[in-house]
Chains A and B, each alone.
Chain A
Amino acid sequence: MSAIMVLVLVGLGLGLLIGIAVKLFAVETDPRIEQVEELLPNANCGACGFAGCADFARAMVGQTASAGQCPSTSDDAVKQICALLGTEASQRTAMVAVVKCGGNAAVAQAAAHYNGISDCRSASLVASGAKNCLHGCLGLGTCARACPFGAIEVIAGLAVVHPELCTGCAKCVATCPRNLIEVAPASTPVHILCNSPEKGAAKMKVCKAACIGCRKCLNAGDEGQIQMAGFLAKINYDNPPTAGIAASCPTKCLQPVAAAARSAQTTLEPCEVTNG
């Protein structure tokens, strides 16, 4: 009985000491930091330039960063943060990642069977990967694994961005050994899903969905909406064409991102990526 009493007393005593220490050595923190942090996506993607969401929240409360710097926060959350901190909500453009390749297993030829590490950067060191197009998506999903939001999926040997999940944080951009990923304004209705600078005929030989440089989209749109970079059409993101322009493309490489994700899903079975 006395043992229990001793333990209870020791426990109460220590608890009291801790309670006093907490009051005595309390660190003053701004309660807004925690509130702001809760409104952030907490993916710690680093797109804002700070070391994670907590660091970014501290910077925002300290007025050295603005909520608009985080591409992954929803507009609603940005408004709430701004209301909390009493700052003006700045105008920002929602961005989305675009994998500039439409060459899935059905349209782009594979040059060889690749049996190695299931990672694009490793595969590109072995005879530049097993795709006949030297500029196309290798489809081993290095970008998909890097995405903190699960917005990239490899479907039929092609990395496809799901725009509704993508926040435009750009974490995937640097992982692609072929530099295929670009972050574009999410409002852009169509994208050119090809990045090969080769001549049209050479591209046709290796992929049925390549931009062959026929300039049909150039004529279908208004001036300056689409520009040619060598044999490759490029969307002018400051003055993008309307979605209707996609009909002018003979190879269907001019596509809305969402449509690209959908069509790949409905027409093809997901391809099995073997590891090893």
Chain B
Amino acid sequence: MAEHFLFHGGVHPDDGKSLSCHCTIQDAPLLEKYLLPLQQHIGAPPKLLVKKNDNVLRGQCIAEPGGFVSAAIHAPTSGKVTLVGECPGANGASMPAIEITSDGEDKADQSLAPMTDWQDTDPELLKKRIGAAGIVGMGGAAFPTLVKLSPPPGKPIDVLILNGVECEPCLTADHRLMLESPGRIIAGAQILARSLGLEKVYIGIEANKPDAIRQLRDLTANTNIKVVELRVRYPQGAEKQLIYAITQRKVPAGGLPMDVGCVVQNVATAAAVAEAVIDGKPLYERITTVTGSPVVSPGNWRLRMGTPLSMALELAGGVHSDPAKLIMGGPMMGTSVYRLDIPIMKNTSGILLLSPEEVHQFTSQACISCGRCVDACPMTIMPGTLSVQIENEAFDLAEQWNAMDCIECGCCSYICPAGRPLVQHLRRAKAEILAKRRAAAQK
């Protein structure tokens, strides 16, 4: 246990994983239609390569990256493009999307050839493949993986960390992946290490998944990969907290992991990298946990991008009681949504339903200055003080008090005895500060 360090702050929410952690990953049946959003990543929107009535194959690239920080999108099945329009997004706004009507044959596109000799392949070619397969961070942020693998000169990278922590309560997709496809994760780790040209690889897993730790330890014995058992504390899986726990390096405020020589990738991303390189399979499906107390049979499904939430819930047998809340992602960081036609995207790690008893309606009270949010904040900012500044719209002051460091993990809102929606305040401040910075940059 002494092999790692503990970050500051954090909370211990009920992990709620027992609902789905024993459920093997199931394949979803082929759907008639997929409504595929084009913007499934952070960064520039991709350029659409197909038009209405075009025939596409499964895995065919239908949109190419629209910039350096961007990602390609691939067709989830073979069929015809029946609509170039919009679909609802998790943030409430509509976003550009295309509808693919399946021809039922699910014919695969062969343009990405399997690279069986990846151990001897030039790292640049590996990176090119990772970009061509449209791989983005699958833990939630959906940051294009290729960008993380291309640090600017002067930022040497010496440590690769695979994030198998899955600290978000209720989600079990990564846990199941580590149990069922550990080989893929390890191969992905080696490919990522090769493309970064480094030796030191860690896989960080929270101690509440002993089976996954044991299995990955057995399989990585006598390799350069070290499996690290991490203490259970939310948000252990946040990038900066994970780096500190494993390497004791502190990412500076406003900095990136590459500033301390680290690259962090989710285990699901590593598995997707292995599939892209070894099998020539681009990223068009992912494992998603469908869970929550109102769900009839919670579990983990391999869903293709563009599957509507309603279909995912149907796979889980629907609900046996009226849910009060529908969340994309986990209970701490997920987004609450209110429609069922939102499609699954590359970063949809879970769909969570909460029953009326589990949803608390808070009334925001005045801050009592108890300081519990300060104790809980893993980024060591002062959410309570900030929330008062933000209530008074003092965004410049909030910026000086490091509001931009907030990772929106939700620890402060979770712990606040006055029921203050602290994360929402901070999210508002971040949006206002970013808008101000953008306006200043345009001048």
Interface of A toward B, CB cutoff 8 Å: 111-112, 115-117, 119, 121-122, 124-130, 134, 274-276
A111-B338, A116-B424, A121-B428 known, 4 other contacts, Cβ within 8 Å? A112-B338, A117-B364, A125-B431, A276-B362
Q: Across the interface, do B338 and A134 meet the contact criterion of CB distance under 8 Å?
A: no
Q: Across the interface, do A127 and B336 meet the contact criterion of CB distance under 8 Å?
A: yes
Q: Across the interface, do A276 and B363 meet the contact criterion of CB distance under 8 Å?
A: yes
For the complex, what is the distance from the CA of A42 to the CA of B264, rounded to whole Å? 56
Residues of chain B within 8 A of A130, CB atoms compared? 338
- B97 CB to nearest A CB, Å: 15
Q: Across the interface, do B421 and A117 meet the contact criterion of CB distance under 8 Å?
A: yes
Q: Across the interface, do A117 and B428 meet the contact criterion of CB distance under 8 Å?
A: yes
Q: Across the interface, do A115 and B93 meet the contact criterion of CB distance under 8 Å?
A: no
Q: Across the interface, do A127 and B419 meet the contact criterion of CB distance under 8 Å?
A: no
In the assembled complex, B247 has its CB within 8 A of some CB on chain A: no
For chain B, what secondary structure do more than half of its interface residues adopt (helix, strand, loop), or is it mixed?
loop
- B388 CB to nearest A CB, Å: 13
For chain A, what secondary structure do more than half of its interface residues adopt (helix, strand, loop), or is it mixed?
loop
Q: Across the interface, do A115 and B362 meet the contact criterion of CB distance under 8 Å?
A: yes
- B12 CB to nearest A CB, Å: 24
For the complex, what is the distance from the CA of A274 to the CA of B339, rounded to whole Å? 24
What 9 pairs between A and B have smallest CB-CB spacing? A128-B92, A276-B364, A276-B363, A112-B338, A127-B92, A122-B428, A111-B338, A115-B361, A117-B424
Interface of B toward A, CB cutoff 8 Å: 90-94, 335-339, 361-365, 419, 421, 424-425, 427-428, 431-432
Residues of chain A within 8 A of B339, CB atoms compared? 111
Q: Which residue of A lies closest to B324 (CB)?
A: A113
- A91 CB to nearest B CB, Å: 34
Q: Which residue of A lies closest to B361 (CB)?
A: A115
Q: Across the interface, do A275 and B363 meet the contact criterion of CB distance under 8 Å?
A: yes
Q: Across the interface, do B92 and A134 meet the contact criterion of CB distance under 8 Å?
A: yes
Q: Across the interface, do A276 and B421 meet the contact criterion of CB distance under 8 Å?
A: yes
Residues of chain B within 8 A of A127, CB atoms compared? 90-92, 335-338
Residues of chain B within 8 A of A124, CB atoms compared? 92
For the complex, what is the distance from the CA of A130 to the CA of B425, rounded to whole Å? 17
Q: Across the interface, do B364 and A134 meet the contact criterion of CB distance under 8 Å?
A: no
Q: Across the interface, do B338 and A116 meet the contact criterion of CB distance under 8 Å?
A: no
Residues of chain A within 8 A of B337, CB atoms compared? 127
Most chain B CB neighbours (cut-off 10 Å) among A121, A122, A127, A130: A127
Q: Across the interface, do B338 and A276 meet the contact criterion of CB distance under 8 Å?
A: no
For the complex, what is the distance from the CA of A134 to the CA of B427, rounded to whole Å? 20
Q: Which residue of B lies closest to A111 (CB)?
A: B338
Q: Which residue of A lies closest to B362 (CB)?
A: A276
Q: Which residue of B lies closest to A115 (CB)?
A: B361
A–B Cβ pairs within 8 angstroms, 17 of them? A112-B338, A115-B362, A117-B424, A121-B431, A122-B425, A122-B427, A125-B91, A126-B92, A126-B336, A127-B90, A127-B338, A128-B91, A128-B93, A134-B92, A275-B364, A276-B363, A276-B365
- A126 CB to nearest B CB, Å: 7
